Amino acid sequence: MAKSDATPLTIHIDGERTVSGLLTLPANARAVYVLAPAAGSGMEQSFLVKFAPLLAERGIATLRYQFPNAEAGSRRPDAPAAAHAAVRGAVAEAARLKLPIVAGGKSFGGRMTSQAEAGVPLGVAGLAFIGFPLHPPGKPATTRADHLADVNVPMLFLQGTRDELAEIDLLQPAVEKLGPRATLHLIPEADHSFRVPAKTGRREADVMAELADTLAAWIDGLIG
């Protein structure tokens, strides 16, 4: 039976610095998703707390972790160098499980993970983004996707069609430009937090299940 509770970890990121982590490890785990939080939040963000057990039910372990500023109690986003160090530390910790690794995260966490991968490969099977933040709200642009050209592992983009941080007319061409290594899965009417209007007839649980099903199936395709 899948274990849904999380085990606290200490993750070494550089020198003497550490951040906290939470490992959700089902007994039948066949891969681990290293899951970074969004900017201004931490590993106890409501979305992540709900998502980790859903993946565990599907045989995917999750390692959630803090960025340094969140660890210190600040809501300010980390500088890229600090965030990249945390990504690398978390992936190194996940490697102890001896399972295939997929890395990524929610919004800022996913983007920091892909930047780290584009700089020096992390040694992961793929990257999975939960709401890739293509641009700030109300400021459409695609420059935040430029570094993805230097990512050579498969990528999964889970996106809502009403995401104010990723206008679909800009995101779709950006993903297509990456070729067959990139997959885009759209959640109709979902915003950046994957909330959908009541008129859709869908509940939060339905959307979360679709996200978990899609991610688990994509990981299975990677690891065979």
Q: Quote the pTM value.
A: 0.95
**Single-letter amino acid code for the residue at 213:** D
**Single-letter amino acid code for the residue at 154:** P
DSSP string, the chain: ----S-EEEEEEEETTEEEEEEEE--TT--EEEEEEPPTT--TT-HHHHHHHHHHHHTTEEEEEE--HHHHTT--SPPPHHHHHHHHHHHHHHHHTT-S-EEEEEETHHHHHHHHHHHHS----SEEEEES---S-TT----GGGGGGGG--S-EEEEEETT-TTS-HHHHHHHHHTTGGGEEEEEETT--TT----GGG---HHHHHHHHHHHHHHHHHHHH-
Q: What is the separation, in whole angstroms, between the first and last Cα of the chain?
A: 22
Find how far residue 34's CA is from the centre of its chain: 7
Encode the chain (224 residues) as per-residue pLDDT tens digits: 334 489 999 999 987 899 999 999 999 999 999 999 999 889 999 999 999 999 999 999 999 999 999 999 999 999 999 999 999 999 999 999 999 999 999 999 999 999 999 999 999 999 999 999 999 999 999 999 999 999 999 999 999 999 999 999 999 999 999 999 999 999 999 999 999 999 999 999 999 999 999 999 999 999 98
